[in-house]
Amino acid sequence: MELFLHCHERVDQGAGKGLSRLIDVVDRSGNPVETFEMMCAAIDSDVRSSVILDWIRKVESGEEEYVEVDGNGWVITLSRNDVSFEGLYGQGEGGNVSFEQFCFAVKTFLLFLANSSSDPIKVPLMD
């Protein structure tokens, strides 16, 4: 199944909240893929700066075998084998994805956040 990482603006949330940005993984038809929902929720909630890239670098370089990155809504556990997620407010836990998929998603989302024109990004997600 061909999958795509999709970064785009959300619809107006109303009540003066304005627009925000969203990341998801979709199939060819544009339907969200359940396997990646926790990853996308954690990135959407807790990844707003390049600080996560420091943790990724530490795992990539072997400086750390694994790290637990505690955010506002999620604990993201990174290792070279996989990445898992634990919601701090009852969102659940698990949602394991490969380290490479997570790194690609984070880097793509950060590029999207830095893009002032807010053009959507839709790129193939590696297996």
Q: pLDDT tens track of the chain, all 127 residues?
A: 799 999 988 766 565 555 567 899 999 999 999 999 999 999 988 887 778 999 999 999 999 999 999 988 999 999 999 999 999 999 999 999 999 999 999 999 998 888 867 688 899 998 7
Number of domains composing the chain: 1
With 0-12 CB in 10 A as exposed, 13-18 as middle and 19+ as buried, what is 12? Answer: exposed
Q: Residue 34 corresponds to which tokens in the numbers above?
A: 């359940």
pTM of the complete model: 0.87
Characterize 43-58 residue by residue with b for buried, 16 or more Cβ atoms within 10 angstroms of its Cβ, and e for exposed.
bbbbbeeeebeebbee
Q: Residue 47 corresponds to which tokens in the numbers above?
A: 């990844």
Domain of residue 30: give its range.
4-124
